[in-house]
């Protein structure tokens, strides 16, 4: 275990002292954020604790099956932030900075000293009175699994399915560099306990609306290669989203497509937000640390997967990112391309 068992214990004590616990994760929730939230709710309900989850954006279609039975709210214009005031403890999962949960910063500020943070990102800003942070964990869901398993707090099959989904999606179905023995061991234990890996895959990956494929086609249409075809950049503006009938959440995974090109070592996807700002997602095959690049522009993430926001308009953001990324890519010697581990 990479997290001190005393910290696990302290976090559990905090939960046991609380009357009502709210679980929050980052905006644009992914499989890890949603799966971890569902699994924590599952464990807490087994233990008879009152708890509910708050997702900061709607659940992408592919993950709807995970939340079918959970007490999960979505932050919308109709959500009453005063509901948060009733909670006396908060668990922030798969995020470790105020920036990632900025829309609930106001209502959560009063709970800052009763905040448990469970995260595996490299960048954090000190958020959380108790920090269960381990950047060597393949997914936040893995920390959640180890936390409650070490305490003997049981998950039902619902929680285990959610954790398997968290682990599987954050490791790209056990293909990314974060797929280690620890992740596979936990996955094996989950399968041993009744999780069906292929059903999990089919439920998530074979559940898209046509809009998502239409958007992928649009993004690929915008693909341009720079720096000796080692840098791939794609862009999606609001008009493209509208034309496809797609939403922001449909852009998840699109960024991985150019990584199939042998010469590409960094992939970037720029998505225009309704307010005109541009969200930039970055992926790297390892030679360029995109977490550092993102951090230099106020963002963050992992060495091989990071993100940031930058000012619009799109054309200027696009030029800015090409300049920044091509400099970083061109600093990598060409012969290291094939040395990619
Ligand atoms: Mn994660």
Name residues whose C-beta falls within 8 Å of residue 34's C-beta, 6 or more positions apart in sequence: 25, 55, 59, 63, 66, 67, 162, 165, 166
Quote the pLDDT of residue 339: 45
Token pair belonging to 118: 């469970």
Cα Rg, the chain, nearest whole Å? 20
- The pLDDT of residue 155: 97
Strand pairing partners for 118? 93, 132
What's the 333 CA to ligand 1 centre distance in angstroms? 30
C-alpha distances out from residue 41 to 37, 51, 67, 133, Å: 6, 6, 10, 19
Q: What is the pLDDT of residues 98-140, one digit of tens each?
A: 988 999 999 999 999 999 999 999 888 889 999 999 999 999 9
Q: How close is the Cα of 26 to the center of ligand 1, in Å?
A: 10
Say which residues have a Cβ less than 8 Å from residue 160's Cβ, sequence separation at least 6: 39, 190, 193, 194, 195
* Token output for 282: 């970055």
State the burial class of residue 77 (Cβ atoms within 10 Å of its Cβ: 0-12, 13-18, 19+): exposed
Task: Please report the pLDDT score of residue 332 as a whole number.
Answer: 95
Confidence of residue 70 (pLDDT cuts 50, 70, 90): low
CA of 194 to the centre of ligand 1 (A): 23
Task: Write down the pLDDT at residue 124.
Answer: 85
Distance 228 CA to ligand 1 centre (A): 32
Residue 334 Cα to ligand 1 middle (Å): 31
**Distance from Cα 162 to the centre of ligand 1, integer Å:** 13
pLDDT in tens, 289-315: 999 999 999 999 989 999 999 999 999
Protein residues near ligand 1, an ion, with CB under 5 A: 32, 94, 140, 170
Place of tokens 């041993």: 192
Ligand 1 centre to CA of 315 (Å) is 30
Query: pLDDT (tens digit, 9 = 90+) per residue, 188-226?
Result: 999 999 999 999 999 999 998 899 999 999 999 999 999
Task: Say what the pLDDT of residue 252 is.
Answer: 79
169: three-class secondary structure by DSSP: helix
Please state, for a pLDDT cut of 90, what percent of the chain lies above it: 85
Contacts of residue 211, defined as CB under 8 A and 6 or more positions apart, other chains included, come to: 244, 245, 246, 247, 250
pTM score over 0.85: no
Buried b (16+ CB within 10 A) or exposed e, 156-182: bebbbbbbbbbbbbbbeeeebbbbeeb
What is the Cα–Cα distance from 89 to 138, expressed in whole angstroms?
26
| CB-CB contact of 118 with 93 (8 Å) | yes
Q: Which H or E run includes 182?
A: helix 181-192
Per-residue model confidence (pLDDT) at position 336: 57
Q: How far is the CA of 191 from the centre of ligand 1 (A)?
A: 20
List the structure tokens of 59: 């659940």
pLDDT at residue 69 tops 90: no
pLDDT in tens, 18-29: 999 999 999 989
Instruction: Measure 170 CA to ligand 1 centroid, in angstroms.
Output: 6
CA–CA–CA angle 281, 283, 286 (5° rounding): 150
How far is residue 297's CA from residue 11's CA, in Å, rounded to a whole number?
33
Task: Give the pLDDT confidence score for residue 68 in this predicted structure.
Answer: 76
How far, in Å, from the CA of 120 to the mean position of ligand 1? 6
CA distance 269 to 318: 10
Task: Report the DSSP beta bridge partners of residue 224.
Answer: 233
The single-letter DSSP state of residue 323 is H
Quick: pLDDT tens for 137-183: 999 999 999 999 999 999 999 999 999 999 999 999 999 899 999 99
SS3 of 171, please? coil
> What is the per-residue pLDDT across 27-51, written as a single tens digit (0 to 9) for each?
989 999 999 999 999 999 999 999 9
Whole-number Å distance, alpha carbon 135 to ligand 1 midpoint, is 10
Going from the Cα of 140 to the center of ligand 1, the distance in angstroms, rounded, reads: 5
pLDDT at 334: 83
225-270 pLDDT, tens digit each: 999 999 999 999 999 999 999 988 788 789 999 999 999 999 999 9
- pLDDT digits 0-9 by tens, 165-174: 999 999 999 9
Q: Is the pLDDT of residue 325 over 80?
A: yes
Q: How far is the CA of 304 from the centre of ligand 1 (A)?
A: 13
Residue 259: what pLDDT?
96
pLDDT score of 340 more than 80: no
Instruction: Report how far residue 134's alpha carbon sits from residue 132's, in angstroms, rounded to the nearest whole number.
Output: 7
Ligand 1 centroid – CA 274 distance (Å): 25
CA of 92 to the centre of ligand 1 (A): 12
In the reported structure, the alpha carbon of residue 305 is separated from the centroid of ligand 1 by a whole-number distance in angstroms of 10
CA of 33 to the centre of ligand 1 (A): 6
């Amino acid at each position: 275990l990479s997290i001190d068992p005393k910290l696990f214990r302290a976090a559990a004590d905090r939960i046991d002292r609380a009357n009502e616990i709210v679980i929050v994760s980052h905006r644009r929730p992914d499989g890890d954020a949603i799966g971890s939230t569902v699994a924590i709710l599952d464990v807490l309900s087994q233990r008879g604790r009152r708890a509910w989850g708050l997702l900061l954006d709607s659940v992408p279609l592919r993950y709807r099956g995970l939340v079918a039975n959970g007490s999960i709210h979505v932050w919308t214009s109709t959500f009453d932030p005063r509901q948060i005031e009733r909670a006396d403890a908060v668990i922030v999962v798969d995020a470790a900075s105020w920036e990632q949960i900025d829309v609930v910063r106001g209502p959560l500020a009063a709970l800052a000293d009763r905040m448990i943070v469970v995260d595996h990102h490299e960048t954090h800003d000190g958020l959380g009175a108790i920090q269960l942070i381990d950047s060597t964990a393949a997914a936040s869901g893995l920390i959640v699994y180890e936390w409650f398993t070490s305490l003997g707090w049981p998950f039902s099959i619902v929680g285990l399915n959610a954790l398997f989904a968290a682990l599987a999606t954050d490791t790209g179905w056990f293909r990314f560099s974060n797929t280690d023995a620890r992740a596979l061991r936990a996955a094996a234990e989950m399968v041993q306990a009744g999780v069906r890996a292929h059903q999990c895959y089919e439920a998530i990956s074979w559940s898209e609306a046509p809009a998502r494929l239409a958007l992928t086609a649009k993004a690929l249409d915008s693909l341009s290669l720079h720096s000796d075809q080692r840098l791939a950049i794609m862009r999606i503006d609001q008009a493209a989203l509208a034309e496809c009938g797609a939403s922001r959440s449909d852009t998840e995974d699109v960024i991985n497509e150019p990584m199939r090109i042998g010469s590409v070592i960094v992939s970037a996807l720029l998505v225009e937000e309704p307010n005109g700002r541009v969200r930039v997602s970055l992926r790297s095959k390892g030679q360029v640390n995109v977490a550092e690049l993102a951090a230099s522009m106020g963002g963050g993430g992992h060495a091989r997967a990071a993100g940031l926001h930058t000012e619009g308009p799109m054309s200027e953001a696009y030029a800015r990112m090409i300049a920044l990324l091509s400099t970083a890519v061109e600093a990598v010697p060409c012969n290291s391309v094939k040395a990619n581990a």
